[in-house]
Amino acid sequence: MAVENDLVLVYFEDKPLVFARIESILADSKKDWYHVKLLLLQVPLQVVTWILKEAYINGTEFTMNGKRMRLKKVESPVEKETPEKIQKDETKTETTLNEKGAKVISLKDLKRK
């Protein structure tokens, strides 16, 4: 289930409409329904509260005023580092370890010549 501070993409009639951050999810008086407060990431920013079932928060399609809607959790794309890329990065700069064992990169080596 999407949780507070997750980013979601709101779909309207199967087309992406707006990104939103889930601000809060509070139980409704009806069983299995929730008040979902969304911060719509648009200009100007707007806060809306929708009453949704858990299935709808998890991406199942629902309707609002007869229009199909859907929330899809947004995952950050992670760039996979290949051994070649790691090797190239290490040869670009001279690194050392400080007293705590942390990697220290010299900014002097990164400066353009």
Per-residue pLDDT of the chain (113 residues; tens, 9 = 90+): 789 999 999 999 999 999 999 999 999 999 999 999 999 999 999 999 999 999 999 999 999 999 999 999 999 888 766 666 655 555 555 556 667 777 777 777 666 65
User: What distances in angstroms separate CA 72 from CA 9, 35, 41, one per listed residue?
Assistant: 5, 17, 15
CB atoms within 10 A of CB 78: 6
Distance CA 108, CA 20 (A): 41
Contact 47, 18 (CB under 8 A): no
- Per-state percent for the chain, helix, strand, coil, to nearest 5: 15, 45, 40
